[in-house]
Amino acid sequence: MKNTLLVGVGGIIGSLLRYSVVLVIPDIFVLWIVNGVGSFLLGWLSGRAIATGKATSILWTTGILGSFTTFSTFSAEWLSVAQADIGLAILYALLMTVWSFILAAFGMKWGRGLS
């Protein structure tokens, strides 16, 4: 029950942070920033948890960062690109994925170094 509430509160914070990025940054950059930064930070937290042997609070992992980043909006944006140009849409999907993976890997490497 306590964990469920922590995740819920994290969901509020993460979603509102994501919405703030929507308000401040031009539409085409939003998902690159949100998913990139969120993947980097979650990678960093996971790496730090491995290095220190102490688990990170679920408020941060499943709650805030899980909710800050999003897959469904990415799918929908992909759909609108695909309706115009399917080749560009495939490139977009691959780049977004590789971008987030690389940042998550960097974050984890960096977090592991902090033992």
Partner 1 sequence: MEFYPSCIWHEVGERIVITIIAVAAGGFLGAIVRYLVSMRVTGMLGILSVNILGSFLFGLSLRFVDEAGTFSSFWLIGFLGAFTTFSTFAVQFVETWNDGHSVKAISYALVTLIGGLLFVCMGWIFSGFILIK
Residues that bind partner 1 (CB under 8 A): 3-4, 7-16, 18-19, 22, 34-35, 38-39, 41-43, 46, 58, 61-63, 65-76, 78-79, 82, 93-94, 97, 100-101, 103-105, 108
CA torsion angle 51 52 55 58 (round to 10): -80
Cα 5 from chain centre: 21
Which is nearer to partner 1, 54 or 71 (by Cβ)? 71
Least separation in angstroms between CB 68 and partner 1: 7
Which is nearer to partner 1, 9 or 88 (by Cβ)? 9
CA torsion angle 29 101 48 14 (round to 10): 40
